[in-house]
Structure 1
């Protein structure tokens, strides 16, 4: 406590703590008055946050004792969640200890904004989740999902704490704590878990960047973790699409998706560059972390008819061997996979050699390379828009062949070109052909592959 603490400040702190304890026991939100009061009385921000979290912990114990008769969960699961909460709280607390006071001061407005949003919309969101659970058939929920959500909430609680009760109520309401039984994996749940893990990885980058402790080793480790997440996330997205879109609309769905990717590849770097200059890389990572919330909410809002998981008793290596045998033993699928691999390799070489062409061949600089990338992105966007208007899944094979030929010829022209405008046109055409091949190939795979060989829904 500050040495200049007056009697008025002491009475103010005592009365605020008493009122906040009652609020937290009944509805939550006590941190919104205790934390500002501590700051007002002259307590440093990190010390105020630690004091506030300690007070919340004591109040939570009292509330737990009062409501212990209403606890509807098995002892084993309860102890597991307690252990996960303890680990998450320790991680958040350690992160707070290694965060400099200046960095924490910069984070306070964003943390309070997040807590305010959670507190303001927490109750409507919880009611929406309750209605959602009532309108869908009850299903068992993997305990791992609940533990993962609790870990993320506990890390946030250990670092800041405001609004943690509302977050826990929303998570428990959605995941159905009373229905926890054996694990039941499906694509929807895998995507949800992947997005939560991606958000945690981005939050780790945020903390490293803002605390000034970031280095190449941490970046490499987090990069590997992101690669593992993508290894589950990307193929699951492909397998999940047929559950949300009818077969006759698959072509349009892939075209719209690719168009959005093309737009973001053009607009995203420009916005990111402005934000990095204005806010710094740390806050940009924080914005990236927050953006995951929209995807998570969208996944929670998706309602699908329940499907039984395809049960397989084979070992993972046997599954992998069977999948390769199926894919390369069926000529249409083999042709699509080999063609896609070759196209992606060629496209990857072009991206890697693009800066050299811009500097050595076209005698330009970073701006020249930027224009070349924009031209190819515009081509992919045009191809995606074209396919949304003229998509016909029955002609996907012709579109696939046309895209490969179109892209190949365009890249040959680009390789021979020494004129800037011709290089731009050839890359626009190459992007157009590339996206035709990608969308047609994905559409064909979704139509040709049976559900039992699509993966991501076996156990």
Structure 2
């Protein structure tokens, strides 16, 4: 219940918020800024979120973060429905939500292995991705229709209501409490211990660096999707929803494929394939001006993205000691979300002074170059099991 409901609610707030920002400002730079403000707290606070995940009960921490996120959704809904919302409000609430995510993401990712164990971890992550991306297939098209029919304010309200089911699902869970060895050390000592482990482990460091490059130069394409829908492909709100659904479809196919592999023993090759295919699909998407062709390329983007992310997540969690898992996953969250402000600002600026396709193509080219470098110079990555 938790996974299903969380998958439904976590995506809608992004797509509606981005559309509302572009509706208010008509500026690609503003889209980059809202992404910057939402991602900045990941850079500032996610490492402390990892320490918290290793010091307190993860389920309790997740309940607290989800409750706070629900309140933020209701605030944005109220401002929008009363027509008092301004771009500064969205920036501020985006920063608050990003702070919530800085503590939620490390705890949530480290919580999965406590529920299922190491042997079933990849299947669990793939199942989570399957449920998550099922919502991405139906959700964007529905969100596009809802924006057109009832407006963004009601979408934000429904998003807030959906958190109630998430919180209820968490309260009904019964999982064994894991030992929290980090509790006995000072916070900064806990933090340094986690960073020292990552720096001293070449495999973990390489995996984390791939996440960082993908986040900075690949992920910002999603922030610019309203520009592609409105000004590049000329398909409006409904087409915007279908563009996002295409990514969700590809991710769902990728998740189901990973789940069918079970405890696959050549995960390094999966990570390598995802790292190469993801920026390649983004690059060809940036050149497309045909709506059907763009949908096909975005299916490829979603497929390769989930292959890269789910396999990297699995390798990280199964490699690290239990007592350090929250902190290692907080660095993963830092690189996955905290590096995004740099990419969002870069992509938004390039799009503002040039165009959105140029911004996406530029970032994809850099990400692809780094993936090729890792393939040629760090063969130990593709040998991972």
TM range (shorter): 0.5 to 0.7
Over aligned residues, Cα RMSD in angstroms?
A: 2.9
Quick one: distance in 2 between partners of 1:433 and 1:445?
18
Unaligned stretches of 5+ in structure 1? 1-183
> Alpha carbons of 1:434 and 1:282: their partners in 2 closer, same or farther (altered >3 Å)?
closer
1:449 aligns with 2:320: yes
Provide, for residues 297-319 of structure 1, a one-character-per-residue CA deviation record: whole Å limited to 9, x for no partner.
11111111233322444433333
Matches within 5 A, 1:247-326: 247-326=118-197
> Alpha carbons of 1:258 and 1:307: their partners in 2 closer, same or farther (altered >3 Å)?
closer
2:299 corresponds to which of 413, 418, 428? 428
Q: Which has the higher contact order (CA 8 A, sep 6+)?
A: 2
Question: TM-score, with normalisation over the residues of structure 2?
Answer: 0.62
Deviation at 1:266, TM superposition (A): 3.1
Contact kept? 1:263, 1:381, Cα under 8 Å: yes
Contact kept? 1:239, 1:456, Cα under 8 Å: no
Deviation at 1:415, TM superposition (A): 4.4
Provide, for residues 410-432 of structure 1, a one-character-per-residue CA deviation record: whole Å limited to 9, x for no partner.
33443455665554433322321
Tell me what 1:331 maps to.
Answer: 202
1:414 aligns with 2:285: yes
> Alpha carbons of 1:279 and 1:397: their partners in 2 closer, same or farther (altered >3 Å)?
same
Provide, for residues 321-353 of structure 1, a one-character-per-residue CA deviation record: whole Å limited to 9, x for no partner.
322221122011111111122223332243345
Quick one: distance in 2 between partners of 1:295 and 1:391?
27
Tell me what 2:62 maps to.
Answer: 191
Tell me what 2:105 maps to.
Answer: 234
Contact kept? 1:248, 1:393, Cα under 8 Å: no
Tell me what 1:379 maps to.
Answer: 250
> Alpha carbons of 1:396 and 1:311: their partners in 2 closer, same or farther (altered >3 Å)?
same
Quick one: distance in 2 between partners of 1:439 and 1:365?
31
Quick one: distance in 2 between partners of 1:375 and 1:273?
13
Quick one: distance in 1 between partners of 2:204 and 2:193?
14
Tell me what 2:222 maps to.
Answer: 351
Quick one: distance in 2 between partners of 1:253 and 1:304?
15
Contact kept? 2:69, 2:100, Cα under 8 Å: yes
Give the secondary structure class of the aligned counterpart of 1:247. coil
> Alpha carbons of 1:223 and 1:373: their partners in 2 closer, same or farther (altered >3 Å)?
closer
Contact kept? 1:187, 1:456, Cα under 8 Å: no
Tell me what 2:94 maps to.
Answer: 223
> Alpha carbons of 1:369 and 1:192: their partners in 2 closer, same or farther (altered >3 Å)?
closer
How many correspondences in the alignment?
273
Contact kept? 2:285, 2:294, Cα under 8 Å: yes
Provide, for residues 127-150 of structure 1, a one-character-per-residue CA deviation record: whole Å limited to 9, x for no partner.
xxxxxxxxxxxxxxxxxxxxxxxx
> Alpha carbons of 1:431 and 1:276: their partners in 2 closer, same or farther (altered >3 Å)?
closer
Contact kept? 2:254, 2:306, Cα under 8 Å: yes
Tell me what 1:208 maps to.
Answer: 79
Deviation at 1:449, TM superposition (A): 1.2
Deviation at 1:445, TM superposition (A): 0.8
Give the secondary structure class of the aligned counterpart of 2:120. helix
Deviation at 1:392, TM superposition (A): 2.4
Provide, for residues 51-94 of structure 1, a one-character-per-residue CA deviation record: whole Å limited to 9, x for no partner.
xxxxxxxxxxxxxxxxxxxxxxxxxxxxxxxxxxxxxxxxxxxx
Contact kept? 1:187, 1:236, Cα under 8 Å: yes
Deviation at 1:450, TM superposition (A): 1.0
Question: TM-score, with normalisation over the residues of structure 1?
Answer: 0.53
Quick one: distance in 2 between partners of 1:420 and 1:219?
30
> Alpha carbons of 1:415 and 1:274: their partners in 2 closer, same or farther (altered >3 Å)?
closer
Provide, for residues 358-401 of structure 1, a one-character-per-residue CA deviation record: whole Å limited to 9, x for no partner.
677x7644366555443332211110111111232432222111
> Alpha carbons of 1:247 and 1:208: their partners in 2 closer, same or farther (altered >3 Å)?
same
* Greater Rg by CA: 1
